[in-house]
Amino acid sequence: MQCRLLLITALVFALMMGALATPKHLVTFMKTYPSPKDSALGKAKCVTCHVKGKELNAYGKDLDKAMKDRKTKDLTADIMKSVENLDSDKDGVSNGDELKAGTLPADSKSKPAGK
């Protein structure tokens, strides 16, 4: 019984730790790339980097690789800026240009007007 309770407690704690990391990253992202709330980027929130749950989209994978290259789990403005020249969704527009325009760097259908 004690072993079972300990296992359940450990599982709950692990789930809470995973859930706490995402809002921290979102706050860092929103401070680095403020966008109008009515833009695609402003509405996207977690979908900017995630497909669903913890599964990452192409932009999220590029950020994850940049964090691993720097041997950190902390998403910083410098790490985000390091992937601005990439084109995660392969739509011909750099991540940086998409973010500045308020469009989604992992969605090839979402790109700045006229591009």
- CA angle 100–42–57, rounded 5-degree value: 80
Distance between the two ends of the chain, CA-based, in angstroms? 62
Distance CA(13)–CA(96), nearest Å, equals 36
What pLDDT, on a 0 to 100 scale, did the predictor assign at position 44? 92
Q: Which two tokens stand for residue 67?
A: 């964090």
pTM: 0.79
Instruction: Tell me the chain's radius of gyration from C-alpha atoms.
Output: 17
- Residues ≥6 apart with Cβ < 8 Å to 72: 79
Query: Tens digit of pLDDT for each residue in 44-95?
Result: 989 999 998 889 999 999 999 999 999 999 999 999 999 999 999 999 999 9
- CA angle 87–91–93, rounded 5-degree value: 55
What pLDDT, on a 0 to 100 scale, did the predictor assign at position 22? 58
Buried/exposed 51-60: b ≥16 CB within 10 Å, e otherwise: eeeeebbbbb
